[in-house]
A and B are shown apart, each in its own frame.
Chain A
């Protein structure tokens, strides 16, 4: 079982390396992290927080958009691509379980994502620490951001595999992935904000809104990091709600989402008839 998962992971790493996914993912994370850390260094004097914590707060806002995007871009092709290339029927006649195939792909894609995260966050952190030696005190926040980003990535990889299985065609899977990304990280928050404004402090804001934030893996990720961060004050919008939701709840959402997404993926893949 382990050997088959590893074999699949190795072959996926070969493919990702040749398709330049590793370069693209790392490049995206590094460039955006550096840009944000340059922009995000402005409010430092007023807050009195260490520079790295401020950088982490900026990176959190960046990762909410970028990590799901990179994860979906890597995963939308996973099943639909194999089906379209015609490689899926042969693979499924091998003595390998479908979940093992997905686990192998997940392992490879997670590895690439983690490399990209470490490179991006590392570059931003290095700049913060070089400019402000006191920034070392924010290293805990950076570590927290890194592992939660990895879990967020795993969630969207799983969702991407599920979409890929449901769509059967890469064009359809790509459309679904982009739609899901827009919906979950952009429109979802806008809709919630609009509802909160319209509700004007009523029962929606008190009861439904916190649950709605926790139900979205991207929002739960942002909540958790901002609740934990000392520099939560620099966050705006949804982040303002961070104080009202206990940290353990957002943590549970972060931990449960990858499990649910992978269950979803494997259920959808099981239904694929090559």
Chain B
């Protein structure tokens, strides 16, 4: 299947500082891709290049078969900026009606759209009176106008409460099911872990990792931790039996590599009469993320 968004060897320089260097990636129709990275890693710059707001220094970008920023590309791409801002004197309804007219859609559907993001009751109030979360929903509503083929969402869930976040991802799932490609950046790692198909990690303008969470976990090969609670008095036996075990408070902590995981578990299982409980803790997304970001020298 042809990709909705294809980037190859993208480089962007801001006064000698490389914001993006040799970045390549793609997003297929219906795919939800999360873009991770520190502040200043180049996420927003990459999004602005995709949207045609700033020009790349070199490399190729194709958005729905067109150059970024082309009228054709813009008509198929929706954008939700980080901290979506609107004119405070306008009502939510006026603002969304305006955006619908700009996209050539009938503005009669504006109210339905605001209802969809839970702003129906506040639609006729000025945006100046909205909370941050409500403004973010106006931003989300405008990103849903028409049937965008590509959604570029810059930290879309910042400022949203947990219930709104879940609703938001349900809306995204529905769009993806219709074939929209979604590229979103986020700092909420646990959230994107469950809700996206693929992760991209940017560090200092370079793509340092790409793949599904399982693939990244395998590539990172981070150690697995086990927390063992011994039956009274047996912890000395366990410490003796497992060479790299250490005592932490009342528990015994064991750390081993992915390859040694099963062997270590077998050792633990052999002492099952002496163990009250065992917890196996795989490396978290935060650990994997830090691993790839730090490898680059951060």
Contacts and interface: CB of A to CB of B under 8 A. Distances in A.
Contacts of B83: 86
Contact of B71 (A14, A85, A87, A97): A97
Interface string A2-14: 0110111011001
Given A15-B87, A18-B89, A85-B87, A93 B102 contact: no
Interface in B243-274: none
A167 B104 CA distance: 32
Contacts of B123: none
A93 B77 contact: yes
Interface in B46-84: 48, 51-54, 71, 74-75, 77-79, 81, 83-84
A10 B101 CA distance: 11
Interface residues of B, number: 30
Contacts of B98: 7-8, 10-11
Contact of B81 (A4, A19, A89, A273): A89
Given A15-B87, A95-B74, A3 B101 contact: yes
Given A3-B104, A90-B79, A11 B94 contact: yes
Contacts of A274: 48, 53-54
B191 to A, nearest CB: 23
A18 B135 CA distance: 19
A7 B97 CA distance: 9
A96 interface: yes
Given A86-B83, A273-B53, A15 B89 contact: yes
A19 B102 contact: no
A155 B74 CA distance: 31
B102 A96 contact: yes
A86 to B, nearest CB: 4
Contacts of A187: none
Nearest to A92: B53
Contacts of B52: 93
19 contacts: A3-B101, A7-B98, A8-B98, A11-B94, A11-B95, A11-B98, A14-B94, A15-B89, A19-B89, A85-B85, A85-B86, A87-B87, A90-B84, A90-B85, A90-B139, A93-B51, A94-B102, A94-B103, A274-B53
Interface of A: 3-4, 6-8, 10-11, 14-15, 18-19, 85-87, 89-90, 92-97, 273-274
Interface of B: 48, 51-54, 71, 74-75, 77-79, 81, 83-87, 89-90, 94-95, 98-99, 101-104, 126, 139, 142
CB-based closest 10 A-B pairs: A7-B101, A86-B85, A18-B89, A95-B75, A93-B79, A95-B74, A11-B98, A94-B102, A93-B51, A96-B102
Given A85-B85, A89-B48, A90-B81, 12 more contacts: A4-B101, A10-B98, A14-B89, A87-B87, A90-B84, A90-B85, A90-B142, A93-B53, A93-B74, A93-B79, A95-B75, A273-B54
